[in-house]
Amino acid sequence: MDRLFAMQVFTRIVDSGSFTQAAKEMNISRASATSILKQLEQKLGVRLLHRTTRKVNPTADGRFYYQRCRNILEQVSETEEILSQVAATPRGPLRVDLPNTFSRLEVIPRLPGFCEAYPDIELILSASDRVINLVEESVDCAIRIGSLTDTPSVISRSLTPLPQVTCASPHYLDRFGTPQILSELEGHHCVEYRSTSSGDIEPLEFLLDGQRHEQPLPASISVSNGDSYVAACEAGMGIIQIPEYHIRRQLNAGSLIEILPQLRPPALSLSVLYSNHSHMKPALRVFIDWMVVHFGQ
């Protein structure tokens, strides 16, 4: 016999004054309610109810037991509610992997507000530009820039694409001139960026009448790190294309200058990824919601 359930049946019978009504409220048959009450009385060794054809009333022992049952059931209900609230409260460690520069320039400066709103979450950030396996590396979610490979075990949520710019240093432009149209790129050089995930060279691309147009240029240097990419450009080694956030400071300071602004490169996709094998704990849910607020469509 489930003692707690029997207490619930007994208190319902007393409250409603009827086996039939109590059984209906508990979604059991009247026969089951009668059987449970009989087993409870046998277990306690006392008679709990006076039964008449019109009304069911508790005995003296029944009234004493009824009050104790109500106290116990209220404590159980209160305890379950507290535990439910604890389970729904964002807390505990949250492991997030982010692109290095995006983390430094865009995410971390905004994090004090998140940490103030959710003081019980312990953020564990890793910053890298490599592709990781969320499950194998025990990472709750990852922020990724660029196209994604199809992975059945990973759920992705798209954020606002990142605008890109084409730029060069003032020294470089003084030397080679500032192109106004694509054909004037002839005779220019670029800094090549090699993808850390695929090893491929990322070509210079421009949006021309809504279509992607690749523009190959010779290069004297190839890099696979965003900061080195920018440093090579600032040193006057060639033209680069890069997300605007990455060089916002340099553009404002004038150490880099945007060229061909009317033919900006295609924007880069920004996504938050998490495993579909894991339960979305409250800390992960609120972090994704926070990302959507700051970087959402």
Q: Report, at the CATH architecture level, how domain 3-88 is classified.
A: Orthogonal Bundle (1.10)
CATH of 95-157+276-295, one of 3.40.50.2020, 3.90.226.10, 3.40.190.10, 3.90.950.10: 3.40.190.10
User: Helices H, strands E: what count in the chain?
Assistant: 10, 15
Q: What is the pLDDT of residue 277?
A: 64
Segments making up each domain of the chain, as ranges: 3-88, 95-157+276-295, 164-263
* The domains spanning 95-157+276-295 and 164-263 adopt the same CATH topology: yes
Q: Label each residue of 170-195 as H, E or C.
A: HHHHHHHCCCCCHHHHCCCCEEEEEC
Contact by Cβ (8 Å): 266, 212: yes
Q: Of 237, 244, 246, which Cα lies nearest the Cα of 266?
A: 244
Mean pLDDT value across residues 203-222: 90
pTM: 0.67
CATH number at 164-263: 3.40.190.10
- Is pLDDT of 255 > 90? yes
Q: How far apart are CA 76 and CA 88, in angstroms?
A: 18
In this predicted structure, what is the pLDDT of residue 297? 64
Q: Are 118 and 90 in contact (CB under 8 A)?
A: yes
Mean pLDDT computed over 117-143:
84
Residue with tokens 């440093």: 231
pLDDT for position 91:
87
Percent of the chain with pLDDT over 90: 60
